[in-house]
Amino acid sequence: MKNENSSILTRVLSTISQAVSEFDKMMKLKFRMKNSVIEFPFRISYVDNVHVGRNVWIGKDAWFNLGEKCHLYIGEGTKIGRSCMFSGKANSILIGKNVLIAPRVYIATSRHKYEDVTEPVIKQGSLSKGNVTIEDDGWIGIGACIMPNVTIGKHSVIGANAVVIHDIPPYSVAIGNPAEVIKKYVLEQKRWVSVKSNNP
């Protein structure tokens, strides 16, 4: 009974310690932010690698799972919904100004290695593939996945649950898996026009 109580106490103290550590990280980040809000709970690694502009809002349950060589930049006025995960071993995630990111969006600069069929994927580590850039004024829909080495142009919209594996031009709407552009804004005509799919 004594050993069981000791084990429970150890687990409780460990949980409290982790919570305090995460809170300390959040407060360290918040101290550097200007007129911005982070909702708790919030998970972050390498807090010094996160650079946040003014008037940013980060919803609760966000997880910035960054490696030591991965940096995250969030421009002023950007809103990040709850339960988003931004992940990378290296490279950078660059989010512009006034970007709207819906809940449960996943952004990554790395991917798991899988090529060696004699080893489980979980044991093969990860591979950094390049920066992710989301330019100003865009909207990333709920549940979207933005994969490594991708740029999403200014004022572009990514539909719900889309998987972005290649660049999306400015002033475009893209949906699907993999994401394809279905609309674009024609500056000369000052209107949005439909784009025919390349799929047969």
Each domain of the chain, given as residue ranges in start order, spans 2-194
Q: Count the alpha carbons within 13 Å of 37 in the hemisphere toward its beta carbon.
A: 9
pTM for this prediction: 0.83
**pLDDT at site 28:** 56
**pLDDT at site 184:** 97
112 classed as catalytic: yes
Contacts of 91 (CB under 8 A, 6+ apart): 69, 70, 109, 110, 128, 129, 130, 131, 132, 148
CATH number of 2-194: 2.160.10.10
**pLDDT at site 200:** 46
Tokens of 167: 């660049």
Q: Are 156 and 169 in contact (CB under 8 A)?
A: yes
Tokens of 10: 């150890």
Q: Cis peptide before 148, with omega less than 30 degrees from 0?
A: no
Q: In terms of Cα–Cα distance, which of 16, 21, 93 is closest to 52?
A: 93
Q: What is the pLDDT along the chain (200 residues), one digit of tens a residue?
A: 556 667 776 776 666 666 556 656 655 565 556 788 888 888 888 888 999 999 999 999 999 999 999 999 999 999 999 999 999 989 999 999 999 999 999 999 998 899 999 999 999 988 888 999 999 999 999 999 999 999 999 999 999 999 999 999 999 999 999 999 999 999 899 999 999 765 54
Catalytic residue, from 71, 112, 155, 166: name it: 112
**pLDDT at site 179:** 97
